[in-house]
Structure 1
Amino acid sequence: MAYEHILAERRGDVLVVTLNRPDRLNAAPPAMFDELRAAIGDLDGARAVLIAGAGRGFCSGADVAGGALGSDDPGAATFAALDEHYNPALLAIAELTVPVVSAVRGPAAGIGCSLALAADFCVASDTAYFLQAFVNIGLVPDGGASWMLQRLIGRARAAEMMMLGERVLAEKAFDWGMIHKVVADEALEEAAFALAERLAAGPTVALGLMRRALHDAATSDYAAAMLAEARAQQQARGSRDSMEGGMAFLSKRKPVFSGQ
């Protein structure tokens, strides 16, 4: 399928999706997130997803300057863009049954910050920064940022990001536990793809169940989380990869997972 705002390609078992408006630091019109949703909706056997940005930025936020969010009734247009385009794409990422890696250089701002942190693993270049700048223009964070940030870094730091609207550089984001790893700028693509490739070679059924367990546990109580784990364990135990893992353990060899 041909896209206007993104690139999507299979590299082995990894689906690589690249935001492709480098002249605008990948500022995202609603259509970009529609294309992202379409791309990840057709995994076609891919066992991991890598989301990156073309050029020197990951995503500088929603494309407001381009008029994509309308002007006759900006409040209604903004709500519609979030409810019908941006949020469904982010929910689609949350509901994937395969691991997701994001590769961030330069800005991950606004909705771009939400997208970067929606991944299971965020690998950042040493040029990367994360920004919730909404307060600077009298707006509020969106794309699930208020839900996501306090679970990743705690309420105090989430409030700092949201209410002060200052850049959080990659090293600070790592120190806070917000992202997985910081690498040299020139090593970003290789490091992020190597991680995605490693995940793609793992037990896909179990990894997908882990994603769901982590997401659900954020809003469930202890007993409900344990029950959900038990049900997930039952499902994982019936997979071919579980059988292969057990046989490999007994044979003292490295397992070869098929993703089933």
Structure 2
Amino acid sequence: MLAPMSDNVVYEVSGGLATVTLNRPDAMNALDTALKEALRDALREAAGDPAVRAVLLTGNGRAFCVGQDLKEHVEELRRSGGGALDTVREHYNPITLAIASMPKPVVAGVNGVAAGAGAGFAFAADYRVVADTASFNTSFAGVALTADSGVSWTLPRLVGPGRAAELLLFPRSVKAREALELGIANRVVPADRLAAEAEDAARRLAEGPTVAYAALKESLAHGSSHSLAETLEKEAELQARAGASEDHKAAVEAFVAKEKPVYRGR
């Protein structure tokens, strides 16, 4: 199924994989209101669709997403002042939460520049495949703003609190190879292979044990802010859920029979 959520976001579902493509290439996928609303709605659609078992988030053109459309932002500042930042609660927060909390893995295929909220959306994904020509930039302080889109939560978990503070206080372009060294990128691939490699990673996850992946996401999020004892209890709860899944039974039977398991996502 291929359908535009709007002119600015293309949403496609194939074989359990939902591909969400930001589609304002002439504006480097800058986030105007129409794009933010379409992206939020597409991610919610993917999160709630039981036929979708993994999500690939990527961009069309030479940028992944350069963050807020500053031309629109300037007009909104002139019109309503501080009300221009209502978009954080209305758009950026639900987009980030959808990426980070949906019960299925999200792969970011970072095809170019990811800046500001665009970087934040990539950081919120579970796995980042990055073109060797791509880069990341927190950028917020460069326009006298603080972090949003969860960057103050996700970035320290990727690179450590000290390096996160540096990248936020002194925003700069972090090239793909450095991003790999820092732990921002999981894989760096040639730019002309980005689409294929990102789709391959996402499709492998779409064909995997969805219940187990959902439990892993929940466990990682819980463990980052709870004690060892609390995390052990959460692991026991989630292991019981995964152990009761059809996919676990199929995996064990396949192992005993020395066959490759076929997962159904339930």
Give the 3-state SS of the residue equivalent to 2:212 in structure 1: helix
Match for residue 18 of structure 1? 21
Q: What TM-score does the superposition give when structure 2 sets the normalisation length?
A: 0.94
Q: Which structure 1 residue ranges, 5 or more long, are not aligned? A: none
Q: 1:63 aligns with which of 62, 69, 73?
A: 69
Q: Whole-Å Cα distance in 2 between the matches of residues 184 and 21 of structure 1?
A: 23
Number of corresponding residues: 259
Say whether 1:144 aligns with 2:150.
yes
**What residue is the counterpart of 2:82 in the other structure?**
75
AA partner of residue 172 (structure 2): E
The equivalent residue for 1:196 is 202
**What SS does structure 2 have at the residue aligned with 1:26?**
coil
**Superposition TM-score, scaled by structure 1 size:** 0.96
Matches for 1:231-242 after TM superposition, within 5 Å: 231-242=237-248
Q: Equivalences for 1:12-51 in 2 at 5 Å? A: 12-43=15-46, 44=49, 45-51=51-57
In structure 1, what is the Cα distance between the partners aligned to 2:224 and 2:76?
31
- Structure 1 equivalent of residue 136 of structure 2: 130
**Distance in 2, Cα, partners of 1:213 & 1:164:** 32
Higher helix share: 2
Higher deviation after alignment, 154-163 or 183-192: 154-163
- Structure 2 alignment gaps of length 5 or more: none
Aligned residue for 1:147, secondary structure, equals helix
Opposite residue 257 of structure 1, the aligned amino acid is: Y
Is contact 2:100-2:126 (8 Å) kept?
A: no
**Could you list the per-position Cα deviations for residues 117-175 of structure 1 after superposition, in whole angstroms to 9, with x for gaps in the alignment?**
11100110011111011222221121111111111101121012101111111110100
Match runs of 1:214-229 below 5 Å:
214-229=220-235
Shift of 1:47: 0.8
Letter in 2 for 1:66: E
* Secondary structure, aligned partner of 1:15: strand
The equivalent of 1:162 in structure 2 is 168
Deviation at 1:69, TM superposition (A): 4.2
CA distance in 2, matches of 1:94, 1:30: 21
Tell me the distance in 1 between the aligned counterparts of 2:189 and 2:81: 39
